[in-house]
């Protein structure tokens, strides 16, 4: 799927299609890990109930 980078305040943003978010159970305010690997962006959903360390970092 091709999409465009948008401007959101001082940052850039992309829209993630609902078909993608539904498949990996992402919803508004979901916690994700964002990585840059070999010049590619990887978005990985995080289950904060399974990893309490992440929860405390977000407070």
Quick one: pLDDT at residue 51?
61
Q: Residue 38 falls within a domain, yes or no?
A: yes
Q: Residue 1 falls within a domain, yes or no?
A: no
Q: Residue 40 falls within a domain, yes or no?
A: yes
More confident residue, 56 or 26: 26
- The CATH number of the domain holding residue 53 is 2.10.260.10
Q: Is the pTM of this model over 0.85?
A: no
Minimal CA–CA distance to 43: which of 24, 59, 57, 28?
24
Mean pLDDT of 30-58: 80
pLDDT category at 13 given cuts 50, 70, 90 is very high
Q: Note every long-range contact of 37-43, with CB atoms under 8 Å and residues 24 or more positions apart, other chains counting.
A: 43/16
Q: Residue 28 falls within a domain, yes or no?
A: yes
Range list of H helices, the chain: 18-23, 52-58
Instruction: List all residues 6 or more positions away from 42 whose beta carbon is below 8 Å from its beta carbon.
Output: 33, 34, 35, 36
Q: Residue 18 falls within a domain, yes or no?
A: yes
Domain holding 40, by residue range, is 6-58
How many separate domains does the chain show?
1
């Amino acid at each position: 799927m091709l999409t465009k980078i948008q401007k959101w305040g001082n940052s850039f943003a992309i829209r993630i299609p609902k078909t993608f978010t539904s498949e990996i159970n992402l919803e508004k305010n979901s916690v994700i890990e964002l990585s840059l690997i070999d010049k590619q962006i990887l978005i990985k959903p995080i289950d904060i109930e399974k990893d309490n360390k992440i929860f405390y970092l977000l407070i």
